[in-house]
Amino acid sequence: MTRFRTRTIVEFAIEKALFLCAAGSILVTAGIIFVLFFETAAFLREVPILEFLFGTEWTPLFYDKHFGALPLMAGTLLVSAIAMAVALPAGLLTAIYLSEYAAGGVRRVVRPVLEVLAGVPTVVYGYFALQFVTPLLQSFVPGLAGFNALSPGIVMGIMILPLISSLSEDALHGVPNGLREGAYALGSTRMQTALRVVLPAAFSGISAAAILAASRAIGETMIVAIAAGQQPRLTLDPRVPVETMTAYIVQVSLGDTPAGTLEYRTIFAVGMLLFLSTFALNLVSHWLRNRFREEYA
Amino acid sequence: MSTTAPTAGGSAGRHRPRHAGDRLLSAVGLLCMLLALAALAALVYDVAHDGLRRLSWQFITSYPSRNPERAGILAALVGSLYVVGLTAAIAVPLGVGAAIHLEEYGGRGRVSRLIEVNIANLAGVPSIIYGLLGLGLFVRAMRMERSVLAGACTLALLALPVIIISTREALRTVPKSLREASFALGATKWQTIQYQVLPAAFPGILTGLILALSRTIGETAPLITIGALTYVPFLPTDIWSPFTVLPIQIFNWVSRPQAAFAENAAAGIVVLLALLLLMNAVAIVLRDRFQRRAAG
């Protein structure tokens, strides 16, 4: 009798302990929001929110301080846009090739090799951008500075390419074969089937992949911290040094900024911007993926 | 795709213009794929070309130095292993526990749904944000300073969603019939998990854990954000020691203008990539061995 009771207690205790592990993940989110919110609120007590969001000068580490985050946002957008311009077409075409044309063997070998690209530490990509891609580009892009937005943008594109190609391929693969067979029966070629039937059918899944990749690009840190420079600048010129939101956080973290100062709080305010933008993108991506799943469940 | 489709090319002459587009699309797709693979090859070649010259026993067993020829990665390498070991000790029990709860106990209740959406979101938060969390929570509020413990706690939170997701996938591969058979023999829920489900899912769980931890070895940004040092001429002695890790040492060398330091960075990258390759190889070998035992 007592043996059974002990068993019941043990079962109960284990279930509760496991529940605490799972519920702990909510505390992580709460912690992120709390820390960012607390320091950002303190920051906004000293800097008006309109100046922070729309100011065009970012010089918090200088004697003459300005706290307009637009240059950081512009730098982030510029590098991410270059990355997407590389990764989206290349990743999508790779996915179409692997899903609609390549033999099964090619697919099984190439996919994991491409995914190695996503597993390379980003500090390695930073080295690659600074030491290999920038000198290479300088030989045919006139006026390209040693630190610029172009080279880290391209390298970041290479980094997020497997994300787009793998997830898009899953989406293409998830389109029911009946649609393809219908198109073939009507006399379409593979290309017509792929571009006019399969691609539109997989559209929400592919957009989910693209948005997730964009969110990854915005939050990527080391490539830009190494190869893009540290000069916040409101520009669309990819040849000159810029600074992204992430690179700014690294720049301040490397210095010895005492806690509680306004300079220290800037990194949390910039972090808040970064968190909110990636959070919004992730939500949209999640929603699109669920919609795709519902369509073909 | 496995349906019978009209093959590109090789058909009757009348259809040739129609298949020109097919050949073009397939060629462009192939080209994109090859370009991506070429980028990977260029990266590996570039790093190996710059780094292998510098790599030596002296490089692995020396402390950092202002003189690039005498500098080495000992403190960074030991620091990386120390941090990842401690990260595993924190994140693995929590992550596996959470996964077991969600997969085996979790119903479709509101709390379970909330936890699931939350984990999916956490997996998409940029790693540098975890660094800010670590800085505000562990370094400042909990006064851990820039210690190995603060670094490991930060990386543990970062690894947690990845571990939970991969462990759940491994648990999902265990057939329901196994659980039902165990219940039918009178086993309780936990007995079933302990003696049937976990052993059956073990290879998959282990592979996921090793891959998640190998990702944390390459993390740089969160550790820079919590203020890990860049010049550490000593080894960590306990969990309260200041520390540095391999990616931070590489970043530090990359940021210097002298070419000799860039060479050091490349050599450091070779060591880092070798370490990651080793971990991945171990994961694959372990999985194969357990799968064979389960099959035999």
At A106 the pLDDT is: 87
Give me the CATH code for the B58-295 domain, please: 1.10.3720.10
Where are the domains positioned within chain A?
A: 74-241
| Residue bearing the bigger pLDDT, B288 or B132 | B132
pLDDT of residue A160: 95
pLDDT of residue A107: 85
Q: Would the CB atoms of A25 and B161 count as touching at under 8 Å?
A: yes
Q: Looking at chain B, which residue has its C-alpha nearest residue A266?
A: B132
**Residue A82 φ then ψ, to 5°:** -60, -45
Q: Does A199 touch chain B (CB under 8 A)?
A: no
For residue B125, the chain A residues in CB contact (below 8 A) are 32, 219, 275, 278-279
Query: Rounded CA gap, B63 and B209, in Å?
Result: 31
What's the CA gap between B183 and B191, in Å, rounded? Answer: 9
Question: Which pLDDT band holds residue B184 (cuts at 50, 70, 90)?
Answer: very high
Tokens 């693995």 sit at which residue?
A: B92
Closest by CA to B132, choosing from A261, A268, A266, A282, is A268
Mean predicted confidence (pLDDT) in B130-149: 92
Name the burial class of residue A65, with classes exposed (0-12), middle (13-18) and buried (19+) by CB atoms within 10 angstroms of its CB. Answer: middle
Best A4, A20, A21, A197 member to test B by mutation, with max B CBs in 10 Å, is A21
CA distance B223 to A265: 18
Distance CA B159, CA B119 (A): 11
Kindly tell me if the per-residue pLDDT of B11 is higher than 60. no
User: pLDDT tens digits for A103-150?
Assistant: 888 888 888 888 888 889 999 999 999 999 999 999 999 999 999 999
Q: Alpha-carbon torsion B260, B264, B265, B269, what sign?
A: positive
For residue A49, pLDDT beyond 70:
yes
Query: Nearest CA of chain B to the CA of A37: how many Å?
Result: 11
pLDDT higher than 80, residue A42 = yes
Q: How far from A55 is each of A59, A60, A261, B117, B185, CA to CA, in Å?
A: 11, 12, 20, 35, 70
Question: Pick from A19, A25, A114: which is nearest to B160 by CB?
Answer: A25
Q: Helix, strand, coil % (nearest 5) of chain A?
A: 75, 0, 25
Q: Does A268 contact B136 at a Cβ distance shorter than 8 Å? A: yes
Give the C-alpha separation, B253 to A227, whole Å.
Answer: 13
Helix A262-295 and helix B127-134, axial crossing angle in degrees, nearest 10: 140
Nearest beta carbon to residue A132 from set B33, B42, B120: B42
Q: Please indicate, yes or no, whether the overall pTM of this predicted structure exceeds 0.80.
A: yes
Contact B227 A253 (CB under 8 A): yes
Q: How confident is the model at residue B293 (pLDDT cuts 50, 70, 90)?
A: low
Chain B contact set for A99 (CB, 8 A): 1
Distance of alpha carbon B8 from alpha carbon A89, whole angstroms: 22
State the Cα torsion B159-B162-B168-B170 to the nearest 10°.
-100
- Per-residue pLDDT at B198 exceeds 80: yes
Of A100, A275, A285, the CB nearest to B1: A100
Inform me whether the pLDDT recorded for B10 exceeds 50: no
Position with higher pLDDT, B234 vs B248: B248
Residue B189: closest C-alpha in chain A: A11
Distance, CA of A201 to chain centre: 25
**Is residue B9's pLDDT more than 70?**
no
Candidate from B30, B46, B262 with C-beta closest to A97: B30
Per-residue pLDDT tens digits for A226-235 = 999 889 999 9
- Split at pLDDT 50, 70, 90, the class of B294 is low
pLDDT tens for B241-278 read 999 999 999 999 999 888 899 999 999 999 999 999 99
Q: Which tens digit of pLDDT belongs to each residue from A158-176?
A: 999 999 999 999 999 889 9
Query: A74-241 sits in which CATH class?
Result: mainly alpha
| 3 state SS of B242 | strand
**Cβ–Cβ below 8 Å for A212 and B18:** no
Alpha-carbon span A10 to B65, nearest angstrom: 55
In chain A, residues 93-122 whose CB comes closer than 8 Å to chain B: 93-94, 96-102, 104, 110, 113-114, 116-117, 119-122
Residue B1: is its pLDDT beyond 50? no
Q: Tell me how far apart the alpha carbons of residues B292 and B203 are, in angstroms, rounded to a whole number.
A: 10
> Please, what is the average pLDDT of chain B?
88
**Cα torsion for A231, A237, A239, A240, to the nearest 10°?**
-20
**How far, in Å, CA of A282 to CA of B47, rounded?**
33
Q: In this complex, which of B6, B50, B119 lies closest to A190 when CB atoms are compared?
A: B6
Q: Is A26 on the interface with B (CB under 8 A)?
A: yes
DSSP A42-92: HHHHHS-HHHHHH-S-B-TTSSS--B--HHHHHHHHHHHHHHHHHHHHHHH
User: In the predicted model, is pLDDT for residue B2 greater than 60?
Assistant: no
Contact B137 A97 (CB under 8 A): no
Q: What is the pLDDT of residue B295?
A: 59
pLDDT of res. A297? 57
Cβ pairs A/B, distance under 8 A: 282
Q: Is the pLDDT of residue B194 over 80?
A: yes
What value does the mean pLDDT of chain A take?
Answer: 91
Residue count of chain A, please give it: 297
Mean pLDDT of A20-45: 93
Q: What chain A residue is nearest to B123 in terms of C-alpha separation?
A: A282
Question: CA–CA distance from B113 to each of A26, A278, A280, B47, B100 (Å)?
Answer: 12, 21, 19, 45, 15
- Summarised one tens digit per residue, pLDDT across range A67-113 is 999 999 999 999 999 999 999 999 999 999 999 898 888 888 888 88
CB contact under 8 Å between B32 and A93, yes or no, is yes
Residues of B in contact with A253 (CB under 8 A): 131, 135, 224-227
| Nearest CA distance, A255 vs chain B (angstrom) | 9
Quick: pLDDT tens for B47-104.
Answer: 999 999 889 999 999 988 888 888 889 999 999 999 999 999 999 999 999 999 999 9
Test B8 with A39 for CB contact under 8 angstroms.
no
Q: Do B133 and A31 touch (CB under 8 A)?
A: yes
Cβ-nearest to B29 among A94, A225, A249:
A94
Question: According to the model, what pLDDT value does residue B106 have?
Answer: 78
Least confident of A2-11, B35-44, B249-258: A2-11
Average pLDDT over residues B212-220: 92
ipTM > 0.95, yes or no: no
Of A28, A31, A253, the CB nearest to B224: A253
Nearest to A296, CA basis, from A202, A181, A182 = A202
Report the length, in residues, of chain B.
296
- Whether B112 and A18 have beta carbons less than 8 Å apart is answered as no
